[in-house]
Amino acid sequence: MRQGRRHRQTGATGFGLIELLIVIVIIAILALIAVPMYLDQRDKARETAIKANLRGVRIALDGYLLSDRSTTYRRSDDGGPAAEGNAERYVSNALELGLEQGVPGSNADGYVNPYTEKRSIVNWSSIYTNATYCPPAVFITNAADCRWSRINVNARRTWLRGTIMVVWNTAAGVIETYGVGGDGRRMDGTLQTVPL
């Protein structure tokens, strides 16, 4: 008696090669659509955070200036031989009293750089101006090349991205504040001036 082999017929439970390739292509197409949208939304959220930081810094500086606590700088000093030195100390004091609550490096208002998550507040002449603290949440300086009018639209300062700039402009008699975007350029529409 001849016995034939028994073959079990099983139903297909897995994907074939064609089906698998189709799924991979569909996932790739969805990723190509979703990733740029995610990155765009992330950048918008960061820009919103920078603008929120800018509003907070402006309010703090306004409060400091209106309270007239500074004895370091007076309008009469502008243009004199000690103007630059006085301006540097004045802006430094405005930062320390208005933003740092008198404690260098502190961040009482909790500003956060949305790109680096750093909370540092840095003065150009400070020991904190290094890679550990930069890009900071707030950067204060009286350097002319950091003024709004001096920074070319195409200039990139990626080491300051996400930072709120507080710049004493001796020529105009104002403190300029603005945000630096993720590309290292100043953010259009963020310039605010604090007149003295």
Closest by CA position to 87, among listed 99, 98, 75, 96:
75
In a domain, 13, yes or no: no
pLDDT at 126 over 80: no
Asked whether residue 142 is domain-assigned, the answer is: yes
How does pLDDT run across 9-19, given as a tens digit for each residue?
A: 555 556 688 88
Instruction: Output the pLDDT for position 78.
Output: 47
Domain-embedded: residue 135:
yes
Q: What is the mean pLDDT of residues 34-57?
A: 90
pLDDT at 77 over 50: no
> Other CB atoms closer than 10 Å to residue 115's CB: what's the count?
19
Range of 31's domain?
Answer: 19-195
Mean pLDDT (whole number) for 113-131: 76
1 pLDDT higher than 60: no
Burial class (CB in 10 A: 0-12, 13-18, 19+), 191: middle
Q: How many CB atoms lie within 10 A of CB 9?
A: 4
More confident residue, 187 or 67: 187
Residue 10, domain member (yes or no): no
- Residue 179, pLDDT > 90, answer yes
Establish if 1 belongs to a structural domain.
Answer: no
Count of domains for the chain? 1
Within a domain: 5: no
Between 108 and 35, where is the model more confident? 35
Query: In the 8-state DSSP scheme, what is residue 166?
Result: E
Q: Is residue 9 part of a domain?
A: no
Inside any domain, residue 92:
yes
Query: What per-residue confidence (pLDDT) applies to 196?
Result: 64
